[in-house]
Every structure is written in structure tokens, then in C-alpha cells.
Amino acid sequence: MQKGLYIKKLLKKVLELLNDAKSVNIEVIDVGNRSSIADFIIITEGNSSRHVNAIVGRLSKELKNKILSIEGLPRADWALVDFGDLIIHVFKPEVRQYYNLEKLWDHGAPEEKQKIKKL
């Protein structure tokens, strides 16, 4: 199967599973043109550690043969599910706000880093 088609199908399936698990504030960031680590990063939330754990459990149950690694369990303030070309971060709301990964991948982020380096 062609890589692009595979990633799109995987992305669609992951988003369905996140919705089924009642994950909230799902954000999909296309980083394929900006990074070699992945094509897409998904950032989402669970309402509690138990909910974060349940979301990751749902993904691992349904897609276990596609997952490369899972980090952050059993504490589950934050968890990462690595599919290779697709990385999912599942946070508790306050932890998501603290790390603010969306800003890291914001289109303006590289310009901000360049400004800091010039100083």
C-alpha cells in the first residue's frame, strides 16, 4: 500500500477511535513538511488520568500491531502513542496547557526560534 494512503487510513481510524473514547479537544497537526519525525501529530485530552489511560488502552487494543511504542503509562498525566509516521499525545487538560505543544508546531515557531538565536 502506498505510504500516503496508509497514513491517511491510519489517521482516519485513529480519529474514529479517539472520538469513540470520548477524547476531547483533538487537534491534528500536519508536520510532514517541517519535520522528519512524523507526518502528523495529534494532540488531545482526557478528563483525568483514568480517561487518558482508557484512551490509550482503546488505541492499543484496536491498533496494537501498528504501534511502535507507548510512553507515559501507568501514571497517565500524559501519554504518547507512536505509530511512526503518526504520533499521538494524550494529556490531562492542565498538563496540555503546561507543555503547550501546539505552540511548538505553530507555523510561527521557527521564526520565533530564529529571533532568539540572533540575540
- Residue 41 falls within a domain, yes or no? yes
- Residue 115 falls within a domain, yes or no? no
**72-83 pLDDT per residue, tens:** 988 889 999 999
- Residue 54 falls within a domain, yes or no? yes
pTM to 2 decimal places: 0.85
**12-47 pLDDT per residue, tens:** 999 999 999 999 999 999 998 888 889 999 999 999
- Residue 113 falls within a domain, yes or no? no
The CATH number for 33's domain is: 3.30.460.10
Instruction: Quickly list DSSP for 22-50.
Output: T-EEEEEEE-TTT-SS-SEEEEEE-SSHH
Number of compact structural domains in the chain: 1
- Residue 28 falls within a domain, yes or no? yes
